[in-house]
Amino acid sequence: MAEALLRSRSRGRVEVESAGTEKTLVRPLALKALEEIGIDGSAQTSKTMERFIDEQFDYVITVCDAANDACPTFPNAGAREHWSLPDPSKATGSEEQQLEVYRGVRDDLELRIMELLRRMEPNLA
């Protein structure tokens, strides 16, 4: 969700990559939560962070504690931040209850992304 949100909210002016600690699938409820706010995440794919270890990044942001703990050092990263958010894929209950968790994470991500964009360049936000 973070990749799609950042790409959308920066209106393509920020190059964005995302990866996880393990390759899984893009969660249908994540896509649904994005669709609710007008973002098409259907082109998203699951990637692991090893793919990007030698890339140059201005920012590396982890979005859940497990990722923060497992995230290797990115030697070419300008800055690293950690946003401690719940992992919505771990949500339990009915589909609607799980979707509520995805919505909460989506909304928190959006607030943090807009703040990041304001810090990066005030006219991006």
Say if residues 4 and 110 touch (Cβ distance below 8 Å): no
Domain membership of residue 95 (yes or no) is: yes
Domain membership of residue 109 (yes or no) is: yes
Q: Which domain range does residue 54 map to?
A: 2-120
pTM beyond 0.75: the answer is yes
Domain membership of residue 8 (yes or no) is: yes
Would you state the pLDDT for residue 123?
59
Would you state the pLDDT for residue 85?
92
Which parts of the chain have pLDDT scores under 50?
A: none
DSSP code of residue 87 = -
Domain membership of residue 29 (yes or no) is: yes
Tell me what percent of the residues of the chain surpass a pLDDT of 90. 46
Domain membership of residue 94 (yes or no) is: yes
Domain membership of residue 125 (yes or no) is: no
Three-state DSSP state, 53: coil
Domains: count for the chain: 1
Q: Find the CATH number of the domain harbouring 76.
A: 3.40.50.2300
Give 25's Cβ-side CA count (13 Å radius).
4
